[in-house]
Amino acid sequence: MMKKTAAGADLSPNLAKETLKPSAFLNPVPVVMCSAQHAGVSDIITVAWCGTINSDPPMISVSIRKSRYSYDLIKNSGKVCVNLVSEALLKACDLCGVRSGRDIDKFAATGLTPVSSPIHGIPMIGEAPVNLECSVDRVIELGSHDMFLLNVDGVYVSGAIIDAGGKADLKKAGLVAYCHGEYYALGEILGFFGYSVAGADALARRTRR
C-alpha cells in the first residue's frame, strides 16, 4: 500500500512492526572524543551517548560508565573537552573507544596532538576539526551510565573549515555519525531546516553550491 503525503513523499505506513527488547535504539547519534586531565594524568574516551541539551546557555551531555578511566578525570577536574570526529580521525577515535587509559597513553598511542585549552588548560585534540571546551554543570546517576551535563565555555574551529565569509562550513569537516555499531560518513544533503515551507528564492539560494 502506497500513499502520498501532503508533504509530497511516497510513504507506505510500516504498520507491521516487530517488537524488539527495549533498548536505547536512537539512531544515528554523534560520536565524539572526550579529552580530560586531572592531577597530571590525561586520557581520551570515545563517547556516542551524547547530545545537545540546551541552546542558551549552550549545553551538551555525555554519558560515561563509572568504570571508565576518564570518568574520574572528568568528575574530579570538572572539565572536559569534547572533540568532534572527522573521517581522518576515525581510526584513532575507535581505538580510544576500545582501549583503556589504564593500559595505554591514548595521545601517544594515536599520535594525536594535545593542545592546552584556552580557558581551562586541559588537553584538546589538535587534529579535531572542532573542539568544545566544557565544564561540568552537574552529574546525574542513571544506572549503567552517569550523565554529565556540560556547559560549552569555548568553541574552536579549524581554519580549514572557515569559509570566505568567516563562518564555519561543516561540510568541509568530514564529520562522522554512529549508527547501530557502525560509523558512517555524512552523505547527500537532503534539505535544510525550513526547506519544507521555503519559497522558491530561498530554495534556489540554499541549494546553489
Q: Which is nearer to a copy of itself, 41 or 109 (CB)?
A: 109
Q: Which is nearer to a copy of itself, 39 or 197 (CB)?
A: 197
Rg (the chain; Cα; Å) = 20
- Evaluate whether 124 touches 137 at the Cβ level (below 8 Å): no
For residue 122, the minimal CB distance to a copy of itself (Å) is 15
Establish whether the linkage from the previous residue to 30 is cis, with ω within 30° of 0. no
Cell of 95: 581505538
- For residue 112, give the DSSP letter: -
- Evaluate whether 122 touches 136 at the Cβ level (below 8 Å): no
For residue 118, the minimal CB distance to a copy of itself (Å) is 7
Q: Which is nearer to a copy of itself, 78 or 97 (CB)?
A: 97
179: closest CA among 24, 17, 52? 24
For residue 71, the minimal CB distance to a copy of itself (Å) is 14
Task: List C-alpha distances in Å: 146 to 25, 64, 68, 121, 149.
Answer: 18, 5, 11, 24, 10
Q: Which is nearer to a copy of itself, 41 or 170 (CB)?
A: 170
Q: Which is nearer to a copy of itself, 73 or 125 (CB)?
A: 125
For residue 14, the minimal CB distance to a copy of itself (Å) is 3
Using CA atoms, how far apart are residues 147 and 113, in angstroms rounded to an integer? Answer: 27
- Evaluate whether 94 touches 88 at the Cβ level (below 8 Å): no
For residue 203, the minimal CB distance to a copy of itself (Å) is 12
